[in-house]
Amino acid sequence: MTALETAFAVFDYAAVAVFAATGALAAARQKHDIVTFGFFAAITGVGGGTLRDLLIDAPVFWISSPGYLIVCLAAAVAVWLVGERTWRMGALLWLDAVGMAAYAVVGAAKALSLGVGPIPATIMGVLTACFGGIIRDVLAGEPSVLLRREIYVTAALLAAAVFVGLASLGVDRLVAGGAGFTAGLALRGAALRWGWSLPAFGKG
C-alpha cells in the first residue's frame, strides 16, 4: 500500500468512526439501549459509502473489510460509556461536520480511483457524505438535513468539488484531499457558528 493509499484509508476509517459516533449520539438523545446505539452507529457510519459503492457498481466496502463495522461498534460503546453530558447536541453537530467533510473527499476519491468522471465523482462525494446522516435523522425522528435550510449539502459539495478539481489539475491527491476537507469543514463550521443559510425560494 502506497503512502497515499494509507493516508486515504486512515481518512476513511476516521470518517466512518466520526459518523458512527454521531449515530450513537442520536441514539443517546432518544435514550435507546446499547443494541440500538450499535445499530445507529453502524448504519450512519457505513450508509453513505454503501450507497456510493452500489451506484458505481463497486464491491460494498465493509463486506470485505469488517474492520469498518468494528470501528462503528467501538464508537457506539465509547459514546455509551461517556454517559450523560449536556454537550451532546453540540458534539453531534460538530462531529457531523467533520465526518461530512472527510467523507465527501473519501467518496469522491474512491469514485475517481475507479475511473468515474470528475462531475459524477463529485456527486458521489456528496452522496457519501450526506446519506448516512439522512438515515440517522430519519431513524431518530429528527428533521432530515435535506429539509432544513442549513449549509450542509453545499459544504459537502464544496469539499468534493475542491478535491476533484485540484486532483484533475494534477495536484497531489493527498494535498487535494486536505484542501477539500478544510474547505468543506470551514464552510459548515461557519454556518454553525454564525447561522448561515441559503435563501429560501420566494424570499428576498
pLDDT tens digits for range 145-154? 777 777 999 9
Contact (CB, 8 A) for 106 and 132: no
For the residues of 168-181, what is the DSSP string, one character each?
HTT--HHHHHHHHH
Q: How far apart are CA 128 and CA 117, in angstroms?
A: 16
Give percent of the chain above pLDDT 90: 63
Domain residue ranges of the chain, discontinuous segments joined by +? 3-194
pLDDT at position 89: 64
**How high does pLDDT run on average in the chain?**
90
Q: What is the mean pLDDT of residues 119-135?
A: 94
pLDDT tens digits for range 64-97? 999 999 999 999 999 898 866 655 667 778 888 9
pLDDT tens digits for range 25-63? 889 888 899 999 999 999 999 999 999 999 999 999 999
The pTM for the full model equals 0.88
pLDDT at position 86: 53
